[in-house]
């Protein structure tokens, strides 16, 4: 049998090549090639192992006639055209957990640097000064660390902070009381955390829910003298507002490893008092680079030799026999999970996935994973159908799968229900023609709709003229409506409007929609 052939096109630890060889693959290590050279070479390889330098474009994929898997040693896959890879049947994998300790340690290092003003003290001392009386630091012992995000990296930071005898309060919609006790942290709402924390460190992905989570408004809610650390993603902090807070002294110091625009050759925060920064070094340690290189080699080799799938971004774990029948259900499941994840907020402790009618006879694990993948995308930018169950478990989310063999109104039905502090919230969907996913119920209100592209969800009082006002508002602002779906509990009661739009709404337009008479909720959605 011919051995699978793998190309390592970016610099990696030499042991990665050894792993490929030990597991039955032929491997070439050829780095630093131009795109044209890679295009000329890629056709002979079954697997491609990369870091951030290699750009896997459509042109590269068009030439990769034998390619079966791409493995990224690290988290980010912005350098891979994933839709094109998917269309060509190429699996794309990453290693989302290989640099967690390194990133967590960098956040702790930044916290100490802020607490003792180390960078400025170092610079002035080496400049020939002896500014012993110019710096007065603070101890971290006994201080309160506010943790925004208590997932994989956040939980490591919590552990280190507790070892430093700090008190840790954490805000994370998926953090249950049981998991908080296990971590040794206090679960808190965001406003409470902002008011109490002496240090705040962020460990969340960049999503619509987390963008500018430390906005000007939220920064104003912080305790005077707070110190802020961000080693997660650029754009989580309003940089201009943070500059103002540093200059006023409300924020005593800030340390950023990431920026809204990178590389950050020029930034509004540069030169601000008590501001320190690093050029996105969170994953830059020898150990992390070794870990991700070894992990990606193991994953690619396992897939090519044994068919195993780990940390795939565009492929569920499915047998060849199950795949054709399950894929439509998985598409529906992911959309329902995404919908409830975008709409349900607060203390999310439990999610149940109910399969009725024809769906009850199917393998529930891929469907469950698809729901969780859609659900967790609002809170994690490295989620996929393989690691979504792990991420849910890590946050203490109780996942329940329910089979109901009887048929109801629909011959097949999936229902996703989350338990929130306001009570259960559920959405349901079916397949038309056993292929086309369709929403049929949202929070107890019957409504049939496709879930696709940019959408707008509005809850309003059922009253004459409301639909016209919404249509006029969107039309006057150049927003074209693709489809229009309505549902209500009772005449004159609560109604739901679900629109598909040709383009997303600006914040200003969302605010105008919120101000319409009778509106209770306005939420932009994306699928």
313 part of a folded domain: no
| 262 a catalytic residue | yes
Q: In this structure, what DSSP letter does residue 360 have?
A: G
Pair (238, 376) in one structural domain: no
**pLDDT score, position 317:** 58
List, as one string, the DSSP characters of 431-463.
EETTTEEEEEEETTEEEEE---SEEEEEEEE--
306 pLDDT band, cuts 50/70/90, is confident
Could you tell me the pTM of the whole model? 0.74
349 pLDDT band, cuts 50/70/90, is confident
Pair (357, 269) in one structural domain: no
Answer yes or no: is pLDDT of 321 > 70: no
**pLDDT score, position 433:** 82
Domain count, the chain: 3
Query: Per-residue pLDDT averaged across 35-51, rounded?
Result: 97
Query: Per-residue pLDDT averaged across 86-100, rounded?
Result: 86
**pLDDT score, position 492:** 78
Nearest-10 crossing angle of helices 364-376, 323-343: 30
**pLDDT score, position 386:** 61
**pLDDT score, position 215:** 97
Give pLDDT tens digits for 199-218.
999 999 888 889 999 999 99
Long-range contacts (CB closer than 8 Å, 24 or more residues apart) made by 156-162: 156/100, 156/101, 156/104, 157/104, 157/107, 157/108, 157/201, 157/203, 158/183, 158/184, 158/185, 159/183, 159/184, 160/104, 160/105, 160/108, 161/108
495 part of a folded domain: yes
**pLDDT score, position 374:** 92
401 part of a folded domain: yes
310 pLDDT band, cuts 50/70/90, is confident
Q: How far apart are CA 254 and CA 274, in angstroms?
A: 7
Answer yes or no: is pLDDT of 320 > 60: no
**pLDDT score, position 315:** 73
Answer yes or no: is pLDDT of 385 > 80: no
Verify cis geometry, omega within 30 degrees of 0, for the bond prior to 456. no
The H-or-E segment that residue 207 falls in is none
**pLDDT score, position 395:** 79
- CATH label of the domain that carries residue 84: 3.40.50.720
180 part of a folded domain: yes
**pLDDT score, position 139:** 97
**pLDDT score, position 382:** 62
List, as one string, the DSSP characters of 85-107.
HHHTT-EEE--TTTTHHHHHHHH
Q: Which two tokens stand for residue 118?
A: 């180390």
Pair (293, 363) in one structural domain: no
Nearest-10 crossing angle of helices 466-476, 507-514: 160
Answer yes or no: is pLDDT of 170 > 90: yes
378 pLDDT band, cuts 50/70/90, is confident
**pLDDT score, position 388:** 79
Higher pLDDT, 269 or 406: 269
- CATH label of the domain that carries residue 439: 3.30.1330.90
Higher pLDDT, 320 or 467: 467
Give the residue numbers spanning the domain of 251.
100-277
338 part of a folded domain: yes
**pLDDT score, position 473:** 94
User: Considering 106, 233, 243, 425, which one is annotated as catalytic?
Assistant: 233
The H-or-E segment that residue 148 falls in is strand 144-148
| 280 a catalytic residue | yes
Rg, C-alpha atoms of the chain: 25
Pair (15, 83) in one structural domain: yes
User: Considering 262, 287, 405, 476, which one is annotated as catalytic?
Assistant: 262
User: Considering 280, 454, 469, 485, which one is annotated as catalytic?
Assistant: 280
- Given 240, 259, 277, which residue is the final one in a domain? 277
Pair (196, 253) in one structural domain: yes
User: What percentage of the chain carries pLDDT values higher than 70?
Assistant: 97
Strand partners, 251: 226
Q: In this structure, what DSSP letter does residue 272 have?
A: -
Pair (374, 484) in one structural domain: yes
Which of 235-239, 384-388, 449-453, 457-461 has the lowest average pLDDT?
384-388
29 SS3 class? strand
């Amino acid at each position: 049998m011919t051995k699978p052939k793998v190309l390592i096109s970016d610099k990696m630890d030499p042991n990665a090549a050894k792993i490929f060889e030990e597991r039955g693959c032929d491997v070439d290590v050829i780095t630093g090639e131009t795109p044209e050279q890679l295009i000329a070479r890629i056709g002979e390889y079954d697997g491609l192992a990369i870091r951030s330098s290699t750009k896997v474009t459509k042109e590269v994929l068009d030439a990769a006639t034998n390619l079966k898997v791409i493995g990224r040693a690290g988290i980010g896959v912005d350098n891979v055209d994933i839709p094109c890879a998917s269309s060509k049947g190429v699996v794309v994998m990453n290693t989302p957990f290989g640099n967690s300790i390194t990133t967590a340690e960098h956040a702790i290092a930044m916290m100490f640097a802020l607490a003792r003003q180390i960078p400025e003290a170092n610079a002035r001392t080496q400049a020939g000064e002896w500014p012993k009386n110019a710096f007065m630091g603070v101890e971290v012992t006994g201080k309160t660390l506010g943790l925004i995000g208590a997932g994989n990296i956040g939980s490591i930071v919590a552990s280190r902070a507790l070892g430093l005898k700090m008190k840790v309060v954490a805000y994370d919609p998926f953090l249950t009381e049981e998991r908080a006790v296990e971590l040794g942290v206090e679960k808190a709402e965001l406003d409470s955390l902002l008011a109490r924390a002496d240090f705040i460190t962020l460990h969340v992905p960049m999503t619509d829910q987390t963008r500018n989570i430390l906005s000007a408004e939220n920064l104003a809610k912080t305790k005077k003298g707070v110190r802020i650390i961000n080693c997660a993603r650029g754009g989580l902090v309003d940089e201009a507002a943070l500059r103002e807070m540093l200059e006023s002294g409300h924020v005593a110091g800030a340390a950023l490893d990431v920026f809204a625009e990178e590389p950050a050759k020029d930034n509004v925060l540069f030169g601000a008092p008590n501001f320190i920064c690093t050029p996105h070094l969170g994953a830059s340690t020898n150990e992390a680079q070794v870990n991700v290189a070894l992990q990606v080699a193991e994953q690619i080799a396992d897939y090519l030799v044994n068919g195993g799938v780990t940390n795939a971004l565009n492929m569920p774990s499915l047998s060849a026999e199950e795949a054709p029948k399950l894929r439509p259900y998985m598409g529906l499941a992911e959309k329902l999970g995404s919908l409830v994840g975008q709409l349900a907020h607060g203390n999310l402790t439990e999610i149940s996935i109910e399969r009725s009618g024809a769906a009850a006879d199917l393998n529930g694990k891929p469907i469950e994973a698809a729901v969780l993948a859609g659900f967790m995308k609002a809170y994690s930018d490295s989620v996929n159908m393989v690691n979504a169950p792990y991420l849910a478990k890590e946050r203490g989310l109780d996942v329940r799968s329910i089979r109901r063999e009887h048929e109801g109104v629909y011959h097949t039905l999936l229902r996703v229900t989350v338990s929130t502090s306001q009570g259960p919230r559920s959405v349901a969907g079916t397949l038309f023609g056993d292929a086309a996913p369709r929403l049929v119920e949202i929070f107890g209100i019957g409504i049939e709709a496709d879930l696709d592209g940019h959408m707008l969800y509005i809850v309003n009082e059922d009253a004459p003229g409301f639909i016209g006002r919404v249509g006029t508002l969107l039309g006057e602002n150049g927003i074209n409506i693709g489809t229009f779906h309505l549902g209500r509990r009772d005449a004159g009661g609560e109604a739901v409007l679900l629109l598909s739009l040709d383009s997303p709404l600006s914040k200003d337009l969302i605010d105008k929609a919120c101000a319409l008479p009778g509106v209770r909720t306005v939420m932009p959605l994306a699928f």
